[in-house]
Amino acid sequence: MRGNKSLKWSRGIMLTLAVASLSASLLAGCSKDSTGQSSPNTKQEQKSAAPKTAVGQTNTPVDEQPSTVFYEIFVRSFYDSNGDGIGDLRGVTEKLDYLNDGNPNTHDDLGVGGIWLMPINPSPSYHGYDVTDYRNINRDYGTLDDMKELIKEAHKRGIKVIMDFVVNHTSTEHPWFKEAAGGKDSKYRNYYVWAEDQKREPIGSSAAGSGNPWHEKNGAHYLGTFWEGMPDLNFDNSDVRKEMIDSGKFWLKLGVDGFRLDAAKHIYEDLASDKGEATTAKNVKWWQEFRSGMNEVNPNAYIVGEVWENSAVSVSAYLDNAFDSGFNFGLAESIVSAVQREQDANIGFTLERVYKLYEKKSQGKFVDAVFLTNHDQNRVMSQLSGNIDHAKMAASILLTLPGNPFIYYGEEIGMQGAKPDESIREPMVWNVKSGEAGQTKWEANRYNRDGSKVSVEAEAADKNSLLSYYRTLIQWRNEIPALHDGGILQYQLSNNNRSVMAYVRATANERVLVLHNLSSQEQQVSLSADNSFSSIERTTNDAAKLDNGQLTLPAYSTVILK
């Protein structure tokens, strides 16, 4: 969140190389140098047709990451079941077959294995990140019975359901806050942080970048890190912690499979001056307490945290008996940058080393959470200026990496959108014809017109569409164990032509070589002499050829070798 506005799997082979060899620049973030700035490309892209000599690390043991593909849904924008123009839970249920029909022999569904529902609790805001009741459903979206039905139907199709859980703050409309603001004698006064009660000066800069986080109410100042409508809860209060743990248990008992934890690093990181190891340790201690509580109901509940950091070191702390995953923001930047520049970003090299740290911190239990963009960022198609070739290559990279890939709704059809937030959360476009049943209308689309060619209906019928491309890549992932469950190893290409990205995906029983030609020109790659990879397993372009260790990669193509 930004501004106002069986998933815990057993692990595979342990990595044997020492964590101490990690360099500071790699741990600072996949797309950053040691100063935190984007690393410039220091070499001109080579346009020569000379073959590349590939040096493959094919015998190194790897950490496996059994995974599934998740789909992030803003319910308000997704599908309207009752004609009021607002998406709802019954609408999500109606569209489950679009996501996964439960039949592995059909290929006209997307093929995902999980959905993440953005906030569905009661809230006065359109986005729902300011909650007024942690154990109920927003009336715009339906009822608890509708939620139960959605979970039941999703599980029938093999789809896990996780939900946004927003515990850092409530709404100012929450009954707790209304009572707390009434005076110091309120039962709920200490549920929140009041400057005067704690003898603190109501000054400082928000750790979320929103200015002074102190806001006046009835002559006192409460802490609201994100904005005045979101008062921060006081996690030094054991009653608050119990409320949040009990609310999490409530949803797990209802059948939810886990949580996406909003603003996870801001539990105690409120002011910019709070940043540091001591604050991180307090955050982690709370989330370990939360995890322990969830384990009492479902030890396999999947917990993924929003720790908006590019530093692997910062994220890794939360993998110690707290989260299964932390969203990999640095990697997302690196993928988008690579396809924009049409140049390799050394992702395999970086991730192989970062995962050693994650492996150690999590005692072998982590799984990465990879994505391109989410509900707080300009949509990837807008970042790529509408270039469908670049969008396809971004999808190719995302869906062939380890961990759980998260797809933001509409990303698979190329929906665009740029800030403000409402414009990156526009209604999903289902049909070619405007005004069809199910189309949500809560917000007028600026970027994605109802009745556009960028729609599910139009793209489902086009084998060359972005939607068809996503379906194909997810199908590959579901069919090839090394893509679905494997770890990652670097695969070094020896010359300076950086148009091809390559890495090995590996399980104990299978290794495949993934190669992406990020450029608009055909590329030639000369594989290593040991012939470890001797056949084309999958390709996005049938013009790809492998002949005596020489691989021809058509422009903007992905090839899987076995």
Identify which of 499, 502, 511, 500 has the alpha carbon closest to the alpha carbon of residue 537: 511
Q: Which of 318, 430, 557 is nearest to 79 (CA)?
A: 430
| 91-100, 370-379, 492-501, range with the lowest pLDDT | 492-501
DSSP string for residues in 242-285: HHHHHHHHHHHHHT--EEEETTGGGTT--BGGG-SHHHHHHHHH
Whole-angstrom Cα distance, residue 209 to residue 142? 34
Length of the chain: 562
The reported pTM is 0.91
Reported as a single tens digit per residue, the pLDDT across 31-57 is 333 223 333 232 223 333 333 333 444
Bridge partners, 371 (sequence order): 406
User: Residue 107 CB: number of other CB atoms within 10 A?
Assistant: 14
Q: Where residue 494 falls among pLDDT bands split at 50, 70, 90?
A: low
Positions marked active-site: 262, 306
- Predicted confidence at residue 69, as pLDDT, reads 98
Cα–Cα distance measured from residue 356 to residue 331, given in angstroms and rounded to the nearest whole number: 16
Looking at residue 26, its pLDDT comes to 40
Q: How confident is the model at residue 1 (pLDDT cuts 50, 70, 90)?
A: low
Tell me the per-residue pLDDT of 134-169, one tens digit each, with 9 for 90 and over. 999 999 999 999 999 999 999 999 999 999 999 999
**Range in 58-72, 215-229, 236-250, 296-310 with the lowest mean pLDDT:** 58-72
